[in-house]
Each structure stands twice: as structure tokens, then as C-alpha cells.
Structure 1
Amino acid sequence: MFQYNLKSTTDEQLIELIRDYDSREAFDELYNRHWKYLFTSSFNLLRDRDESMDICQVVFLWFWEHRKTINIKTNIRGYLYSSVKYKIANFIRSGKIRESFFDELKRVDIDTFQENEMEVKELQIMIFHLVNDLPKKCKEVFQLSRNENLTHKQIADKLGISEKTVDDHILRALKKLRTPLNRLASIFIML
């Protein structure tokens, strides 16, 4: 194998060493360069340190296991970031995450947002109205999930519907709520 000062190699050279020579040292260098960015990105979305670390580890493990066949068309950071976002989406879709923007809103300490108190109240009112405008069954499923913290299976059993139907109602509700709230969500993301 070629001798490299791994600290001075490019990401592309590291990927070549990993792919062509199974270089564990190159993989460790790539990991050390990018794990903090990926972890921070994941944590900003999940707000859960352990889950964020797990997702990063899964992404790097997958990268190592598929090192021979990986074909990266962008830069490695963008590739790994896309992988983290994909894993987070799967994590959320699978129902393993109970925390959400709406759950976080319940825990907001208004006193810490004195300058933004009016915006917070407006956001709460907007969410209330958006939830009330959902179709009856969709609203019921969403409120059981968010207000009573029932799992999708518990909701399905309680309402006598399939878990798939519960998933569909939750996704429909989140989609309807997400669009109007996107511009106001930045208030909470920055905090």
C-alpha cells in the first residue's frame, strides 16, 4: 500500500485507500474529519444525543461495509450528510421517535422567550387551528399520538383501524401542518 500522511490527504484519496486497500487508518481519518458535523446535523433534527450518535455510527458502519461498491458523485461530506438525513427519515417514519416539533412546543418555557412571546403565542394558536381543521379521523389520530402519546399500535387498537391507516393519518396531518409552520419553525430551531 502507498504511504500517505493521512492528515494531509484529500477526502477523495481517503476514499480510494478505503475502497481499494481496505485501509482502516484511512477510514478512521475520514471518520474523524466528518463525525462531528454529522452528529451535530443529526442532533439539530432529533434533539436526542444517543439517537444522533447511533445514526452516525450506522452511517459510518454502512459506509465501511459497502466501501468496495460506493460510488460518490458529490463530495463525501454531502454524501454522508444525505445518508444521515435518510436514516433520520427512516427513523421517524418507523415511529421510533416520539419527540417532534409539536411535542417540543409543549415544553417551551415562555419566560425564556420574552422577546418572542407574541410569536410563540401566535404559533400555538396557529397549530391549534391547523389541527382543528384536519379531517375528523385524522385529527383524532393525530391528537391521540401527540396529546396522549399513544403508539401507532395503541391508536390502531383503540380505534379499530390498521397501523398503516394510523401511519397514513399521521403523515397526512404532519404534511398539512408542516407547510404553514415552516417559516415560523425557525424560531424554535435557533433556540
Structure 2
Amino acid sequence: MQAEIDQWFIREILPHEGALMRFLLRHWPHHDDLSDLRQELYTRIYEAASRALPHDARAFLFASARHLLTDRLRRARVVSIEPMGDLYPSLVPVDEVSPERWCSNRQSLWQLAHALDALPERCREVVWLRRVEDLSQKEVAARLGISEKTVEKHIAKAMRLLADALLVSTEDADIARIASRRRRPGSGYDQA
């Protein structure tokens, strides 16, 4: 069976490599990633062919390429809440924290807590286990009785919802600040 798939791959997929690379060049802005994209695509196609050979290899190749690019774009939009860099330099002794900074940090924490509370129950549970209790994706899946792919989907959905909620609350704060300036006499805004 393996030799049959190898022959099918060589005969039906590899002849389209030039057209595939032109397609990827046209549709993917990061040209450094093209060989990685091609390799990932070939892996997906080979694995799918081991389950069942597609009827139209060329159509299957380009449909798979579109799906891969869509997956990559989706992943690029997900906001990670992983800590970036070394946190120790950002720790400031309590004596040096200004009231404004303390209040701003409390407000940010409050916004994040409310955004977490607003998540759908399963998403919130997955985020809590994965990010707070620091369980692996596999451990979260086992504890909740779901697949690892489902854990990934819940994390992606939660990150999207959290980013949207935090963006909206930031925009609301900006609007409130502008509105309060309009109400103050001598603020420079016309009071309509």
C-alpha cells in the first residue's frame, strides 16, 4: 500500500509543483515560508491519500493549498497570552508604583476578569486549565474528555473573544475620556 501511495504521489502530485509554487507566491505574502508551506501541504496530502486516494489529484492539491493558507491566516490572527520576555525587570517595588499606575493595572485586571467570565463555559474551563493551571494540551483533553483538536479550537476561540472584549473595553474607555473632556468648561470642544 505504501509503495502504491508513493507512486500515486510521484505521478499525480509532484508534476504540479511549479503551478503550486506560483499559486503560493500569488496568495501568501511571506515568501520565506513557501518551502515550509509546500512541505506541510505535501504531508497533509500524503496522509489524506493513505486513507483514500482522491479522484482528481490536481483539484485536491489546490483545494488543500487554499485550506492550508486559510488555517495559517486564522492562526496568525489568534492573540497569544503567553508572557513575552523576562518579566523580572518589569516588577517595580510597591513604593515606586504611582496611584495612576496602580489604578490602571487594577482596571486592566478587572477588564480581563470580566472578559474571562463572559467566555462560554467550556472555553473558560479550557483556558483556565491550560493557561492558569498550566496543564498540557493533552492533559486538558484527557481531563475534560475531549480531543486535543477541540482543546485547540476552544483556546483559539477564547483568545479571539478575549482580544475582542479587551479591545472594546479600551475603545469604551477612550470614548468616555473624550466625552468627559467635552463636558468640562474650557476643554476646547464645542458643547452641543
TM-score by length of 1: 0.38
The TM-score with structure 2 as length reference comes to 0.38
Q: Which has the higher contact order (CA 8 A, sep 6+)?
A: 2
